[in-house]
Structure 1
């Protein structure tokens, strides 16, 4: 063998060894994942549904098509109210919803998306991400064999639509109201009769007189449901829901089966969804209010006296729930402690509006 041949073989051998070493060190190709996600909200509903539908597009894009989550409209796979149990037992991979809907499973869920007189968006995000909220939230879902990711949200909601003007809390007595979660407990204690109806069932209930009043979401969302055609008194602020988390609930086994990269991809998609939801939500409300006014809707603000009565009643409700449920007590104590700390900055760091 000539010296040149020897050098050539040596070079080839080195290349082969390098390639083998690189192949060993390189990560395995990501496996393809296909999930079905049942939504509580229709995709055409601004914020509530549209950001859920965006998950389908965004996760496909960031994963190069390896990770896909198919969005299903309400009822396409299962009735939305069955989402919790379906994800828990694995019959559905994931659901798009908001924690407050699972108040009946655990009262503490409601504090993450419908905490009366709770923090606004900056305060809620700070508590959730840096002051203990996320740990309580994830533990709560894990208890039910799920992993959930904060993946969107709603800016402050309207307080509701009422057929008559409300001049004192006594006016709630005997009133039939569609209301959500913890806020409903407050109104019940003030003499109202509350119930939870899906968005599509509210208009006919108002039309038939089955209910006298309703809350649902922010003006841009309420507009699409047409409440202004029947009810003309639209109250603010939404004391029962200053900020709302939307999330994707995932069966724990499905979540654990993802690679670290796929988990990171979904978390990044959800982070972008939160940014989008806040910005879009704020951007759409002025025009929505103008449209409502153009239909003869009376935009009203609760009097300080009524708000004080609502808050006092809420504190009583929260104390009673804390005595009955340790997890609620843990979450509520954590949230209110943060609000107190946050107020030292909030009261000095921002201009009065």
Structure 2
């Protein structure tokens, strides 16, 4: 994270803390497991950013001790540990909860969904926050949006994928609703934590994988074992992260402490988005010397995947009341937002050199 930006954020948050009161009333010393290795840019480093912000604005009264994935709780079991009170809080991608909370992927990432700032608009101003708290509140968990990235890549492959037929029988690591779409297309989908993907690719346990943005995937070494990186990330047009807190613990905090946590997470959301957007271009420009081919999914295949995505969303909505409620909310917001989006922003294919 840019140190000057971090200093400004801390200064602003400290001013807010001074306005609210000199220190947080609650003295907090929490062990907070991170679902992602802390060295991963824009996703793994977010938990430490939150911890540093909270330590600064509370003058040391709120301290999070961040644990690497698996050192305290396995990444895919983090929500269970928060729910049952084994830990007070954790930092995670709630899409990992899909097996127990069907609507969770909608709060984390969905195929052909919103762009990141569109998602934050829905979360903060379109009813998303209330729905997240309602859904997770039933599981004794309080979620706070605490990070967001732009689209992921569509995955790392060693063979071209041009039609749905090319996906049949493919052993691939995929998460969330996108994984269900690929299963419907005939792929053999597995979900493993990010730290285990390289070895699985190297040993041939899987043929292909998605995980995150190019800068993150390169840090994990995917470019060494797979040479075709597909775009765009149709399955995760946004990737949202949350600080999840045991609801009983959250309800026991005073309002000032809650405000500090909300503020620190709002700052981290902006910082993670900025960081993720800033570092991808340079990585992609270096693909050629690494022997990696950056390739776009052809439009016919994208349309086929969108059709399958619609089927998956409809099936999930029919099977789970919460899923339908959240999906309907997102669809209504996206419809209204489109009026602004289509008018206000330049077309993506607009040539900025035209006329020069």
Q: TM-score when scaled to structure 1?
A: 0.90
| Residue pairs, 1:65-214, within 5 angstroms | 65-214=60-209
Gaps of 5+ in 2: 1-20, 349-356
1:329 aligns with 2:324: yes
CA separation of 1:31/1:122 partners in 2, compared to 1, >3 Å: closer, same or farther?
closer
Larger CA Rg, structure 1 vs 2: 1
Deviation of residue 56 (structure 1)? 1.5
Deviation of residue 330 (structure 1)? 0.6
Which of the numbers 296, 302, 307 marks the counterpart of 1:301?
296
Deviation of residue 292 (structure 1)? 2.4
Which of the numbers 306, 309, 316 marks the counterpart of 2:311?
316
Q: Does the CA contact (< 8 Å) of 1:223 and 1:292 recur in 2?
A: no
Partner SS for 2:242: strand
CA separation of 1:180/1:221 partners in 2, compared to 1, >3 Å: closer, same or farther?
same
Residue aligning to 1:6: none
Give the Cα separation in 1 of the matches to 2:338 and 2:144: 27
Give the Cα separation in 1 of the matches to 2:67 and 2:269: 20
CA shift digits 1:73-125 (9 cap, x unpaired)? 11221222221111101111111101111111111110111110001012111
Residue aligning to 1:246: 241
Instruction: Name whichever of 252-261 and 173-182 sits farther off.
Output: 252-261
Deviation of residue 270 (structure 1)? 0.5
Aligned residues, how many?
328
Which of the numbers 230, 246, 251 marks the counterpart of 1:235?
230
Give the Cα separation in 2 of the matches to 1:115 and 1:183: 7
Runs of 4+ residues over 4 Å off in structure 1 = 26-29
CA separation of 1:27/1:290 partners in 2, compared to 1, >3 Å: closer, same or farther?
closer
Give the Cα separation in 2 of the matches to 1:212 and 1:196: 13
Give the Cα separation in 2 of the matches to 1:29 and 1:122: 30
Q: TM-score when scaled to structure 2?
A: 0.90
CA shift digits 1:193-228 (9 cap, x unpaired)? 100011111111111111111000001100101111
Deviation of residue 53 (structure 1)? 1.3
CA shift digits 1:238-296 (9 cap, x unpaired)? 00001111111101121122111111111111111011011111100111112223201
CA separation of 1:303/1:248 partners in 2, compared to 1, >3 Å: closer, same or farther?
same
Give the Cα separation in 1 of the matches to 2:53 and 2:252: 20
Residue aligning to 1:40: 35
Gaps of 5+ in 1: 1-25
Partner SS for 1:313: helix
Give the Cα separation in 2 of the matches to 1:310 and 1:44: 33
Partner SS for 1:107: coil
